[in-house]
Chain A
Amino acid sequence: MLAAFASLLLCQLAGEAIVRAAALPVPGPVVGMVLLFALMLLRAPLPAETNGTADGLLKHLSLLFVPAGVGVVQNVALLGDTGLRLVAVVVLGTIITLTVTALTFAGVARLMRVADAAPDDEAAP
């Protein structure tokens, strides 16, 4: 558990260093995720409990957004007198984005599966 957590922190630290050195427009932890993924692909000898520790952290991912969420409530005055319209844009924009993204994903997946399955379909009675 401890060695596993240290390995997550090491990936994050390396990610932060790379981001700073190369002036990348990405947060360090995202690069850290890519590094850990690369290490796993290369079958690097990671601590035995890396999987369990990662799952434990992700299980409570919601908790980790509470401090930032409280900050938003404190800063709600920033929305000003346009607050209602800003919230309307956020809600409608999010619904549009969710719908477009999910339908595109599922639509392309279905098209490709139809193409893959075509020979079977022909063979079927």
Chain B
Amino acid sequence: MIDFVNLWVYLSGSPLLWLTVTLTAYAIAEAIAAACRRHPLANPVLIAVVLVSLLLIASGTPYPAYFAGAQFVHFLLGPATVALAVPLMRHLPQVRRTLVPMLVALAVGSFAAIVSAVLLAKAFGLDRAAQLALAPKSATAAIAMGIADKTGGDPALTAVLVVLTGITGAIVVTPLMNALRLKNYAARGFAAGLASHGIGTARAFQVDPLAGTFAGIALGLNGLLTALLVPLLVGWLVG
């Protein structure tokens, strides 16, 4: 027993353990998602997050200790964002052809994301702080936290809401688009990236490469537009 404790103390201090746990949990989550034939509810991000969280709670591991190992995975988000240029280049003819629908959908969608969040929050009787934290929820985490910081919202709460938005969008997008009988994969992907940033984009890439490409474009453009629109809109929306 003492040996096990010593081994545990040694391993839990090194990044290897939690890096391995993250990759293994994701491999298991992928296998479950594949076994469920990529059913939207069997979202690999959600499953892996639940598996890792249960392990952290069971072992009493604080998040900073986990992140010491998981940061190597988290770091790859940067190069992966840069990598979005490759599918964009590959699908350039389609992107050029749909430039106008894309820009109109960007303006309408970005506006709808902010306004719906604030008005729903008001309707549910949520206070000013919650409204400010919700307003940029569809932008990617780094941008949304910067916006919340500028408008007087809580960036940490915004980060939580952003990830929740991402997972919600990734789960909901396929059944919702099927219910709308929408077969335009550029439109479906663009909506996924605009409404639910990187996690929605990850889902779109799993469904269809063209959808993933348009999701990546929407993720970038909506980040920019949300940063411009939220400070303008909160003045007359939030209260």
Is B132 part of the contact surface with A, judged by Cβ < 8 Å? no
Is B121 part of the contact surface with A, judged by Cβ < 8 Å? yes
Partner of B85, one of A33, A60, A91: A33
Is A61 part of the contact surface with B, judged by Cβ < 8 Å? yes
CA distance in complex: A51, B86 (Å): 6
CA distance in complex: A74, B216 (Å): 28
Q: Which of A9-31 contact B (CB under 8 A)?
A: 9, 11-12, 15, 25-30
Most buried by A among B52, B80, B168: B80
Closest Cβ of chain B to A72, distance in Å, is: 4
Is A125 part of the contact surface with B, judged by Cβ < 8 Å? no
Interface residues on B, range: 35 or more
**A103 and B182 within 8 A (CB):** yes
Is B78 part of the contact surface with A, judged by Cβ < 8 Å? yes
**A36 and B164 within 8 A (CB):** no
With A61-B198, A64-B73 given, is the CB distance from A100 to B109 under 8 Å? yes
CA distance in complex: A41, B90 (Å): 11
**A94 and B146 within 8 A (CB):** no
Partner of A105, one of B78, B137, B186: B186
The 4 A-B residue pairs with the shortest CB-CB distance, nearest first, are A101-B109, A54-B83, A29-B81, A54-B86
User: Given the complex, which residues of A lie within 8 Å of B210, measured CB to CB?
Assistant: none
**A98 and B192 within 8 A (CB):** yes
Closest Cβ of chain A to B27, distance in Å, is: 9
Over the window 183-199 of chain B, the binary record of Cβ atoms lying under 8 Å from chain A Cβ atoms (1 yes, 0 no) is 01011101110111011
Closest Cβ of chain B to A103, distance in Å, is: 7
User: Given the complex, which residues of B lie within 8 Å of A101, measured CB to CB?
Assistant: 105, 108-109, 112, 187, 190-191, 194-195, 218
Partner of A8, one of B82, B140, B141, B157: B82
Q: How many pairs, one residue from A and one from B, have CB atoms within 8 Å of each other in the complex?
A: 306
Is A76 part of the contact surface with B, judged by Cβ < 8 Å? yes
**B101 and A112 within 8 A (CB):** yes
**A69 and B45 within 8 A (CB):** yes
Given contacts A62-B206, A96-B116, 5 further A-B contacts (CB under 8 A): A69-B48, A72-B49, A90-B117, A93-B117, A94-B138
User: Given the complex, which residues of B lie within 8 Å of A40, measured CB to CB?
Assistant: 85-86, 89
Is B9 part of the contact surface with A, judged by Cβ < 8 Å? no
Closest Cβ of chain A to B44, distance in Å, is: 5
Q: Which of A25-67 contact B (CB under 8 A)?
A: 25-30, 32-37, 40-41, 50-51, 53-55, 57-67
Is B22 part of the contact surface with A, judged by Cβ < 8 Å? yes
User: Given the complex, which residues of B lie within 8 Å of A70, measured CB to CB?
Assistant: 49, 52-53, 56, 63, 66, 70
User: Given the complex, which residues of A lie within 8 Å of B113, measured CB to CB?
Assistant: 93, 97
CA distance in complex: A33, B157 (Å): 28
User: Given the complex, which residues of B lie within 8 Å of A105, measured CB to CB?
Assistant: 98, 101-102, 104-105, 184, 186-187, 190-191
Is B14 part of the contact surface with A, judged by Cβ < 8 Å? no
The residue in chain B whose Cβ has the minimal distance to the Cβ of A108 is B101
CA distance in complex: A121, B191 (Å): 31
With A32-B81, A54-B83, A102-B190 given, is the CB distance from A94 to B195 under 8 Å? yes
Partner of B26, one of A28, A62, A68, A97: A62
CA distance in complex: A64, B79 (Å): 11
Closest Cβ of chain A to B170, distance in Å, is: 8
